[in-house]
Structure 1
């Protein structure tokens, strides 16, 4: 196949507010964090996303310089999706969505991207419909889905709240692997293990709950495992879930072992936590050393 992974979701411009200071105009979204992590892990990847006229010109070449194929990045007449992320001392996050770019449709996926081993689909603000997943899924590929953006309810002033989507099952019926963050866990009434079981009953064979510095919990088949996180000095939690997803999927494509892939994902995310912004993506050699 021509590509290992195609990433679908909005590239964002983030403002990150930490207890120690503020960083403005930071590249964000799964195409940034998952994409850069995948190419660092020597995987061939492409991106489907939409950008507005306000996207900084000096940012655009960064994606191709990292080795990502950019045929699926489309310019629109609107604005680029923008978030303000405010973190507390414990890593808790409050979000304000300033702008949402145009939605991504099945027609936006280039035909050349149909020749891929896997898709990593991660909306940040509801920009992807179940139709997009259905249009790319076939019996020969793997779809991994991070549903964070469909759990985000953007209220007055752009304040983001977590809310259970009405059509979650419509998304998951064409998904092989779902990766849920602990922020979205708030939308469920069940405990962690019950949530994973509920998710697999909707379609995916593997369900993962990422728990930040605590690692992750994974259910594949009838086996449930909790994997401890790395003990590191955390500089920035932004994008850690996307780095986990990239490392998990990269190894899963080679081994089809969800539990080893989850351990590799936890290590890669932990190593990334030591760096601020979209930098410090670990190589496979660094991950294997920790493993």
Structure 2
């Protein structure tokens, strides 16, 4: 198997509380949503993640069945990361974290993975320290894209998550090619979107993307900011939409090196995905292009 992309971040087992009902024991996390999106788009991704012995036995074979390489999937003595995601009618999310797997260290990355063309790095609960991200960006040969969602999450005693900007945020960004920040994390900056994008690019990335849910996204590239509208869809489940966006952007960008066209492609991919509950309904390249 020739690994052309790598997805890093913890696999999770989620409970999603939606306005239309509750979905329990849902396979989640970056390797699930970004990984399955990449395989649907014709890639052969590798997974870097940690799970516990409590992970349901029928889940691991799914990753191999869907075309993901699991050499970087490590089983630990701790429990698998678990979230309860509660969504309001307008898409706002409240999260409670029940369990957290151990951090992913630089030595946990299989050496063969570093030859990949692209790396999608998206921690869910600060499991990827700066030195691990740096190994991808400094030793890896491909494009490095970071979604720092989990870097902003601080776990309280109640299991509730509080968002805050880490003091070492710049350490994560200094060698990253693309940074994508979601609307939940934007509130931390307390600045205009233009100011946020300028700040992000000054830390190192060539491309900064802000995803804004139903309002689409904004892309900063070559000193210009471009606004892109979202698809008009009825969303059933917003979980994983950010990772599908990131995976689709990276997939298209690896082929075109066009950040604006890649963001349009990613916006459509995320819009098509949220029409389905859980880790299902990942759109093909043809479906995305038809929607565009």
The question of a shared fold, defined as TM-score above 0.5 by the shorter chain, is answered with yes
- Please name the residue that 1:104 is paired with: 104
Number of aligned residue pairs: 291
- The 3-state SS of whatever aligns with 1:25 is strand
- The 3-state SS of whatever aligns with 1:137 is helix
- The 3-state SS of whatever aligns with 1:183 is helix
Distance 1:65 1:73, change over 3 A: same
Are 1:165 and 2:166 counterparts?
A: yes
- The 3-state SS of whatever aligns with 1:49 is strand
In 1, distance between residues paired with 2:252 and 2:18? 32
- The 3-state SS of whatever aligns with 1:158 is coil
User: Which blocks of at least 5 consecutive residues in structure 2 are unaligned?
Assistant: none
Residues 1-291 of structure 1 aligned to structure 2 (within 5 Å): 2-138=2-138, 140-291=141-292
Per-residue Cα deviation, 1:185-209 (whole angstroms, up to 9, x for no partner): 0110211111011000000000000
Is the Cα–Cα contact under 8 Å of residues 3 and 69 in structure 2 kept in the other structure? no
Per-residue Cα deviation, 1:255-284 (whole angstroms, up to 9, x for no partner): 100000000000000000100000000000
- The 3-state SS of whatever aligns with 1:156 is coil
Q: TM-score, normalised by structure 1?
A: 0.98
User: Which blocks of at least 5 consecutive residues in structure 1 are unaligned?
Assistant: none
Per-residue Cα deviation, 1:193-235 (whole angstroms, up to 9, x for no partner): 1101100000000000001121101101111101000001110
Is the Cα–Cα contact under 8 Å of residues 103 and 128 in structure 2 kept in the other structure? yes
Deviation at 1:4, TM superposition (A): 2.1
Deviation at 1:156, TM superposition (A): 2.3
Is the Cα–Cα contact under 8 Å of residues 97 and 159 in structure 1 kept in the other structure? yes
Per-residue Cα deviation, 1:101-154 (whole angstroms, up to 9, x for no partner): 011000000111111111111110000111011112247421000000010111
> What's the Cα RMSD here?
1.1
Is the Cα–Cα contact under 8 Å of residues 49 and 73 in structure 1 kept in the other structure? yes
- The 3-state SS of whatever aligns with 2:104 is coil
In 1, distance between residues paired with 2:223 and 2:254? 21
- The 3-state SS of whatever aligns with 2:22 is strand
In 1, distance between residues paired with 2:224 and 2:185? 22
Q: TM-score, normalised by structure 2?
A: 0.98
In 1, distance between residues paired with 2:285 and 2:9? 25
Is the Cα–Cα contact under 8 Å of residues 2 and 115 in structure 1 kept in the other structure? no
Is the Cα–Cα contact under 8 Å of residues 11 and 30 in structure 1 kept in the other structure? yes
